[in-house]
Amino acid sequence: MKTNRWIDGSRRLFACLLNLYPRQYHSEYAVSMSQVFVDQCRDTYREKGAGGILLLWLRILPDLGYTVIMEHLTIPHAGWGLLEPVPNAPLPWKGVFLILLPGLVYLVSQIAQLTGEPWYLTVYYRAAFVLIIPVIIVWIITRRFPIWGLIPVGLLFRLVKEIGYQFVVLHPGAFSSNPFLQAILSLARTVECNLFIPSILFLAVSAILAFWYFRRNRSNRTGKIWLGIFLFILAAQIAYSFYSSISDIPYVMMAEKLNLPVDIWLQANFIERIPLAYDMYRQIGIWDALVMNASYILYNSLALMLLIFLGTFFTRRHGFFTIFILVGYFLPAMLVGLPPEAQNDP
């Protein structure tokens, strides 16, 4: 049967559409796909004529568009794929750009240091949610987590953690017209007044994840050593905070004009000064502030530890590149620094 203009035109159009596939996929399957399509066109035209060709296109186009997107997302050599590790092959530049995109977004916020406009937090709070959307979409479609989504995960985790104690303080009247959201914020304010509550939750979940991880990796001695170092630094940080507060006792005495016997304080050793400092701080009403400071340190440190153990779910697939999660977590502090009231943030 001779090829007529309907079949020939469809063949040419289909050949053009095949160029939308990644180059590797196109070079391997284009010829066979084109041949199958031409055979379908011939059979359809023989049975239903030109109308059948149009119906064939209506059936093929959605499937073709879906497979094009899937191949670009899943093939390692694709320009904007999942960046799967490929031996002796460079990473696609578009994928590298996706990894660096969160950093580029936050780097732009440096303009705030020149203009004096405090719009950085607006970028921070909005970008963390916006950047995670394409990651979730790709994850749902491909059922594989893309490597360029690791930084947004760290950003989102830090944002959710900070909302727990910043948003409820800076915006006490937020969502006051919505009873459901107001109830959530009321609970959040209760937690904000006692950060030991989420800290205990972080510690419990981290302990479960640590038990699961070390049970599956019994020979991972290095991980246990680093965990011990992390916990030691956490304890040292809290102890140093209390030590600094006790060392400041003479200055507090002068500022508050307290009639505490100075000779007793000077003759006492560090251990004996602890109950004296406790009584004095209770008298002037700042003991609760010291406890709150310790809970703040504990809250941030245990949140970081929880993020580290959550990152173990990504190590099997992404290996060393899982460190991008921590890059996303520390990215805001690296680019703009910490505000004075957040210097204890790890």
Q: What is the pLDDT of residue 341?
A: 45
Work out the average pLDDT over 254-271. Answer: 61
pLDDT of 140 > 80? The answer is yes
Cα–Cα distances in angstroms (integers) from residue 3 to residues 7, 32, 54, 162, 343, in the given order: 6, 18, 16, 67, 76
Where exactly are the structural domains of the chain?
A: 5-74, 93-342
pTM for this structure?
0.55
Q: Rounded to 5 degrees, what are φ and ψ at 91?
A: -70, 140
pLDDT of 85 > 70? The answer is no
Backbone CA torsion sign across 8, 9, 14, 16? positive
Q: What is the pLDDT of residue 161?
A: 77
Q: What is the pLDDT of residue 292?
A: 72
Q: Kindly give, in sequence order, each residue whose CB lies less than 8 Å from that of residue 188, ignoring residues fewer than 6 positions away.
A: 163, 164, 167, 168
Chain segment 202-231, per-residue pLDDT in tens: 889 888 988 888 888 776 676 677 677 777
Per-residue pLDDT band at 104 (split at 50, 70, 90): low
- How far is it, in rounded angstroms, from Cα 13 to Cα 153? 41
Reduce the secondary structure of the chain to three states and give it as a string: CCCCHHHHHHHHHHHHHHCCCCHHHHHHHHHHHHHHHHHHHHHHHHHHCHHHHHHHHHHHHHHHHHHHHHHHHHCCCCCCCCCCCCCCCCCCHHHHHHHHHHHHHHHHCCHHHHHCCCCHHHHHHHHHHHHHHHHHHHHHHHCCCCHHHHHHHHHHHHHHHHHCCCHHHHCCCCCCCCHHHHHHHHHHHHHHHCCHHHHHHHHHHHHHHHHHHHHHCCCCHHHHHHHHHHHHHHHHHHHHHHHHHHHCHHHHHHHHCCCCCHHHHHHCCHHHHHHHHHHHHHHHCCHHHHHHHHHHHHHHHHHHHHHHHHCHHHHHHHHHHHHHHHHHHHHHHHHHCCCHHHCCCC
Per-residue pLDDT band at 96 (split at 50, 70, 90): low
Q: Rounded to 5 degrees, what are φ and ψ at 142?
A: -95, -15
Among 181, 277, 294, 317, smallest CA distance to 234 is for: 294
Work out the end-to-end distance of the chain between its first and last CA atoms, rounded to an integer number of angstroms. 75
Give me 175's structure tokens.
């969502």
